[in-house]
Amino acid sequence: MSALLDVGGLSTGYGVVQVLEDVSIRVAAGEIVSLIGPNGAGKSTVLRSVVGLLPPWRGDIRFDGRDLVGRPPHLLPRDGLMYVPQGRVVFPLMTVRENLEMGAFLFRRDRARVREAMEWVLGLFPRLRERLGQLAGTMSGGEQQMCAIARGLMARPRLLLLDEPSLGLAPRFVDLVFEKMDALRAAGVAVLLVEQNAVRALEIADRAYVLARGSTFCEGTGRALLEDAQVQALFLGGRKGEGWR
């Protein structure tokens, strides 16, 4: 597989405390890859390290063949890599339109490009069109999460890193988050999806990795991991259809 994102032998931590040990993760172009594992396993740390918020101690991080280690994080959208952190982060006092425009900040002088991106994103998230003039901070949590994901797409990334997009959302928005993964796959956008909702994350994934205590426990197609007895017992609450939360 020729990887779009290729993380090899990544070890890192905070201060002197090691969190990740020899983590290897690959995402091919257009692929939906889920990263699941218990709380504290190091999933968010993987994403932070990929985007350069936390320098690796050891290992390689390559995106489209380019070495990302040491690359300034603010240049990543230009490379085609976008990160949507945990917690529905929007600019609350800006309108939805302004939030989306901030996602295309690097290209803001190219008005045609921003307009085109806006139309593409609103095609994926039609409900946001009705909210364009609304202050993002006045929307529901689910709508804010949609806005955060949509903003991440405004730079037309080839790979989107999503940290727990369904966490704490009302059930219909959880459904919507997972529906959007199919839409992104259809649009050719690769996704590295960190999720607590392990069963649904495996159902949607082309491939997946289980992270436990900072190391890769296993990897495989979403379906293979869903049907794996050990994965079911340890990470899916003992039986299929029930996550650990």
Ligand X SMILES: Nc1ncnc2c1ncn2[C@@H]1O[C@H](COP(=O)(O)OP(=O)(O)O)[C@@H](O)[C@H]1O
As given in the structure block, the two tokens for residue 59 are 């290992």
User: Which stretches of the chain are DSSP H helices?
Assistant: 43-50, 76-79, 96-103, 111-124, 126-129, 141-153, 171-186, 198-204, 222-227, 229-235
Contact pattern for Mg ion over residues 23 through 62, marking x by CB under 5 A? --------------------xx------------------
Residue 19, contacted partner among Mg ion, ligand X, none, CB below 5-8 A by kind: ligand X
Whole-angstrom distance, CA of residue 12 vs CA of residue 55: 7
Question: Within 125-184, which residues bind Mg ion (CB under 5 A)?
Answer: none
Q: Judged by CB, which is closer to ligand X: 2, or 39?
A: 39
Distance of closest approach, residue 127 Cβ to ligand X, in angstroms: 28
Helix (H, G, I), strand (E, B), or coil: what is residue 110?
coil
As separate numbers, helices (DSSP H) first and strands (DSSP E) second, the chain gives 10, 10
Whole-angstrom distance, CA of residue 60 vs CA of residue 10: 6
Instruction: Choose one: 37-45, 57-65, 136-144, 168-176; the region binding ligand X (CB under 6 A).
Output: 37-45
Instruction: Choose one: 36-44, 63-71, 113-121, 181-189; the region binding ligand X (CB under 6 A).
Output: 36-44
Query: Which residues are at the interface with ligand X (CB under 6 A)?
Result: 14, 19, 37, 39-45
